[in-house]
Amino acid sequence: MDYAIVEIGGNQFKVSKGDVITADFTAGQPKKAVKVNKVLMYHHGKKVEIGSPYVKGASVSCEIVKIDRGPKVIAYKYKRRKSCKFKKGHRQQEISLKVKEIDFVG
């Protein structure tokens, strides 16, 4: 089973062909292709290649499935006995990517 470890938006994901991953939003539209060049490691058959920090020439081709918003994160601060409260909510934009192909060097 071939797989790669890629970096998308500061997070690392282990991906194989056909996987769907959810990452922080990057520019793009649904049904468009995205090429991820930040491959940290890949495993192909018995060959394992580890980059420093990235593997040269390796890439992962993905398709944008959907753009959505993640769960709400609440920030709440208060000071006791002071009648001072602060509540703020935030929903981060997320992107779902389907891995189409993993391109290896050699």
- pLDDT at residue 106 above 70? no
User: Rounded CA gap, 62 and 10, in Å?
Assistant: 17
R_g of the chain, CA atoms, integer Å: 19
User: Rounded CA gap, 87 and 75, in Å?
Assistant: 6
- pLDDT at residue 26 above 80? no
pLDDT, tens digit, for every residue of 37-94? 899 998 988 888 898 889 988 899 999 999 999 999 999 999 999 999 999 999 999 9
User: Rounded CA gap, 67 and 50, in Å?
Assistant: 31
User: Rounded CA gap, 100 and 72, in Å?
Assistant: 30
Q: How confident is the model at residue 33 (pLDDT cuts 50, 70, 90)?
A: confident
Q: What size, in residues, is the chain? A: 106
Considering the entire predicted model, what is its pTM?
0.77
Predicted pLDDT of residue 30: 77
The structure tokens listed for 56 are: 């040269």
